[in-house]
Structure 1
Amino acid sequence: MYIETPPAVDMSSMSPDTWKKFLHQDPELMSWLQRVGQDYPYWAEVRRRAKPSGLSSQDAWVLLKIMRQATLRSLIVCDKQGFTFSFQTTEPTLEKLHRFDLHLGGMLRSDSLIPVEDKNRYLVSSIMEEAIASSQLEGASTTREVAKEMLRKQRPPRDKSEQMILNNYQTIRFIRDKEKELMTVELLCQIQERMTQNTLRDPAHAGHVRLTDSVEVWNEVAGEVVYVPPSAAELPELLAAFCEFANAGVKADGKAGGPFIHPIVRASILHFLIGYIHPFIDGNGRTARAVFYWYLLRQGYWLLEYMSISRIIHMSSVQYAKAYLHTEHDGNDLTYFINYQVKTLDLAFDSLQQYIGRKVAEKKQLYEFKRLGVLNERQLAIVQEIAKNPENPWSIREVENRFGTVYQTARTDLMGLEELGLLEKKRIGKQKLLYFRADDFDQQLAKLKG
């Protein structure tokens, strides 16, 4: 992936006519700069944009950079050459952050978006989606359907791709239990170790910071090196600085430390820094996305548990890579990556709302069963799934996993559907007990509708 480095900002090379228009606040020029500036385009995009008559790409870039400099914040994560960054929060990003603050977190958890009775089911589904998409970003080739079947039935993974997905699923659950802890190098290594278990060529690389400099970030499609991370000798200092930055948002006593950075912005920077530092031989991307989740859950954005960020990133993987590279090629300006991450979070929130809307609509179709007291919420969902996928059998363990319930409750749900004539029980082998759609499922369903 070729990324052209922006030209140097040299005001002395600017056209006198352009400079004059800028100094005199020419309406057409200023309107263009303000409009384009909100999008925060990279140099290559500035070149492609339509511009006011007489404005060259070079001059347009210089003027945009001058305007950016006025609002950029300096960020020294570590007192080391090449590890100083800058960023700003653009107006479109500020608007989205306000929306997130209203809906994704807070001391009081609203049930207006997610019905109480569906929370466990939606949470399990979301964790599965996140585990699958995050692994697919790193090369896992298993389909969503096969991966979900593995997770729901708790069968052992058959290959490396399925192992990656299982690792990701278990690590996300691990992170949820660690959201109150401070970030340490040890916790970071624990996350990476869980993410890469049984998937590395050399198992010794799991759970350990790399000791070699022979690490490069490749663009597999283009077959080229796009980034060379810091040397192994620099990692102790850089990771100590990373942990300090991660913990600066909220100290152990619950009070903020250091200059305020919006939690979602800080989480995005943490995500970027893992990729930039590249502390591990493998698993850096999955670890970075896990840290993003960890930090926002720690900050009280509880609805994030129900959203799959990686699924959106997977659909825009080229933009994801460019967000990294634009930051690195334009003087470590993190705004590119922050804007991408916030847009991704916004799309994930929209996707969650649409998903819940579809599920609520589906439930309404079977509302008469609930009204008659024939089926509970879990049984309604099972019947609905059977109607859509008649060939798929159900087990007690799958009901446990999908709905986050205990064994006896899952067993009672399936036995109840069997008694109503909707399921038939079959034993596979000596111990495997499965429930299949009954041959007269449609007729029994019609009887229940009365």
Structure 2
Amino acid sequence: MEPQILTQMLTDKNTFSFQKLKYKYGKDNFAEYFTLVSDYFYRKIPLKDFSGNHFVYTPAQVQIVSQSLKRLMQNYSGEKYGIKAMEDEITSTLSIENIETKRESVHRILAGQAPVSPSEEKAYGIKKALDFISDPNHKITAENLNKLYRIAINDYLEDDSKLPPKAMYRNDSVYIVNSSGKPVHKGLDHEKLPAYIDDLIRFIDNDCDDIDQVLKSAMIHYYLAYLHPYFDGNGRTARLLQLWYLVQKGYTSALFIPFSLFVNKNKTGYYKSFKLISENQETDNVSDMTPFLYFFTQNVFSQFENYDVGDGITEKFRAVLESGNVTEKEKDLFYFVLSNYGSGEFSTKDLEKDYRNVAYATVRTFVLKFEELGLLKSQKYGGRTKYSIFE
């Protein structure tokens, strides 16, 4: 094959669609291209498809920019997760599945209030799951994955979609259909699920596979959705498992960045990447995970630096802390404001109600002092005053 043609095929906008490459460059060129990619570019992933063949990917096509890794390495506060970020996460992960939930409802759920509708129950399930995965004592095991699924999804399903009481996974076949009702994917044979999930857990536990952990999190996300071990809620569970893996590996800031927000912004591309992998499996008998990983590097990981998590204000606050002019209560209140409101506005009454364990006088003293320190700013609306982070 001429080097020029190889370069064109590797950089073609349809490089992940083998059907389109064959049509554009011809079967002979594609055959040579596929041989070269298989011999020199593909790298095996220790996860198998339904036929027992290893998944592969092309490392050169899924490079993660260092800025994304820097953002994930940061520690934003003493909270277990960012309330504003997880509002975005919950709202978005439900929206991906066409479950519409109001942000106000999600905010109330995260503030500790009980759900009052079916959509709020689904949001409440994700909230409980976030509490579960943010606890470092909850290691990723098959048993804990079952617990995560039950508290996040299973408890809020119709009876015909729920797992049997003691079951780990579904006990029948499941099909994924498109908007027109056509089946586009069949989940793994339910009798094989225990063995395949055990392989996934071993992959998660193995730190010696020399795969970047952030990229590996996307592999884990894809693979659980590919296996489809439950009758419903597989996508939500896969996205939670990705966050859980990163938290377990020390990337606790993953719970301060809403991964699903970025997925939802390009939901079409997200589902297209699943489709491309399935099409390539059917036509060329190769399980290439690159399309999904490429989607994540381009549409999710690369967007982290654009999400406002208050980096600058955090540095400014650290400088104030070093001066010794802040009490422990004020420190906790400021961290709460960062994680609960982000760049949004709040009143003293909002903070008193949401934080709960604080007197109004303490809240009033706090906002006035932190405005003077240049960490908060105020805006009057008639007779009401709203505060927000000074950026």
The question of whether the paired residues in 2 share the 8 Å contact of 1:309 and 1:344 is answered with no
Identify which range, 80-89 or 269-278, moves more after superposition: 80-89
Match of 1:237 in 2: 195
Q: CA deviation at 1:57?
A: 4.7
Match of 2:43 in 1: 73
Q: CA deviation at 1:187?
A: 0.7
Question: In structure 2, what is the Cα distance between the partners aligned to 1:234 and 1:145?
Answer: 42
Find out whether 1:394 has 2:316 as its counterpart: no
Q: CA deviation at 1:245?
A: 1.6
The question of whether the paired residues in 1 share the 8 Å contact of 2:214 and 2:246 is answered with yes
Question: In structure 1, what is the Cα distance between the partners aligned to 2:113 and 2:278?
Answer: 42
Aligned partner of residue 167 in structure 1, secondary structure: helix
Match of 2:150 in 1: 193
Aligned partner of residue 268 in structure 1, secondary structure: helix
Matches within 5 A, 1:100-179: 100-105=68-73, 114=76, 120=79, 123-152=82-111, 154-178=112-136
**Aligned-residue CA RMSD in angstroms?**
4.1
Q: CA deviation at 1:197?
A: 5.0
Correspondence for 2:219 among 249, 269, 279: 269
Query: Who wins on radius of gyration, i.e. which is larger?
Result: 1
Q: Structure 1 349/236 Cα, relative in aligned 2: closer, same or farther at 3 Å?
A: same
Match of 1:432 in 2: none
TM-score, length of structure 2 as denominator length: 0.76
Question: In structure 2, what is the Cα distance between the partners aligned to 1:101 and 1:65?
Answer: 32
Find out whether 1:440 has 2:390 as its counterpart: no
Correspondence for 1:278 among 192, 214, 228: 228
Match of 2:376 in 1: none
Q: CA deviation at 1:411?
A: 4.2
**Matched letter for residue 82 of structure 1:** S
Matches within 5 A, 1:189-228: 189-202=146-159, 204-205=163-164, 208-219=167-178, 221-228=179-186
Q: Structure 1 127/179 Cα, relative in aligned 2: closer, same or farther at 3 Å?
A: farther
Q: Structure 1 157/32 Cα, relative in aligned 2: closer, same or farther at 3 Å?
A: same
User: Size of the alignment, in residue pairs?
Assistant: 359
Aligned partner of residue 156 in structure 2, secondary structure: coil
Gaps of 5+ in 2: 281-285, 370-379
The question of whether the paired residues in 2 share the 8 Å contact of 1:216 and 1:228 is answered with yes
Q: CA deviation at 1:392?
A: 11
Question: In structure 1, what is the Cα distance between the partners aligned to 2:299 and 2:368?
Answer: 46
Q: Structure 1 95/217 Cα, relative in aligned 2: closer, same or farther at 3 Å?
A: closer
Aligned partner of residue 86 in structure 2, secondary structure: helix
Question: In structure 2, what is the Cα distance between the partners aligned to 1:279 and 1:379?
Answer: 42
Q: Structure 1 244/168 Cα, relative in aligned 2: closer, same or farther at 3 Å?
A: same
Q: CA deviation at 1:418?
A: 10
**Matched letter for residue 16 of structure 2:** P
Q: Structure 1 205/419 Cα, relative in aligned 2: closer, same or farther at 3 Å?
A: same
Correspondence for 1:36 among 12, 26, 30: 12
Q: Deviations over 1:361-385 (max 9, x none)?
A: 9x99xx9xxxx99xx6858997xx8
Percent identity between the aligned chains?
Answer: 16
The question of whether the paired residues in 1 share the 8 Å contact of 2:109 and 2:127 is answered with no
Q: Structure 1 207/138 Cα, relative in aligned 2: closer, same or farther at 3 Å?
A: farther
**Matched letter for residue 184 of structure 1:** T
Question: In structure 1, what is the Cα distance between the partners aligned to 2:348 and 2:165?
Answer: 36
Question: In structure 1, what is the Cα distance between the partners aligned to 2:67 and 2:381?
Answer: 47
Q: CA deviation at 1:337?
A: 1.5
Q: Structure 1 57/308 Cα, relative in aligned 2: closer, same or farther at 3 Å?
A: farther
Find out whether 1:356 has 2:310 as its counterpart: yes
**Matched letter for residue 94 of structure 1:** Q
Match of 2:273 in 1: 323
**Matched letter for residue 356 of structure 1:** G
Gaps of 5+ in 1: 1-21, 49-54, 250-255, 401-406, 421-436, 446-450
Find out whether 1:334 has 2:292 as its counterpart: no
Q: Deviations over 1:395-437 (max 9, x none)?
A: 634135xxxxxx03x64444548999xxxxxxxxxxxxxxxx9
Question: In structure 1, what is the Cα distance between the partners aligned to 2:196 and 2:367?
Answer: 59
**Matched letter for residue 185 of structure 1:** A
TM-score, length of structure 1 as denominator length: 0.67
Question: In structure 1, what is the Cα distance between the partners aligned to 2:258 and 2:141?
Answer: 25
Matches within 5 A, 1:297-312: 297-312=247-262
The question of whether the paired residues in 1 share the 8 Å contact of 2:42 and 2:59 is answered with no
**Matched letter for residue 42 of structure 2:** L
Q: CA deviation at 1:68?
A: 1.7
Q: CA deviation at 1:103?
A: 4.0
Structure with bigger RCO (C-alpha 8 Å, 6+ apart) = 2
Q: Deviations over 1:176-199 (max 9, x none)?
A: 114662x32111101101112542
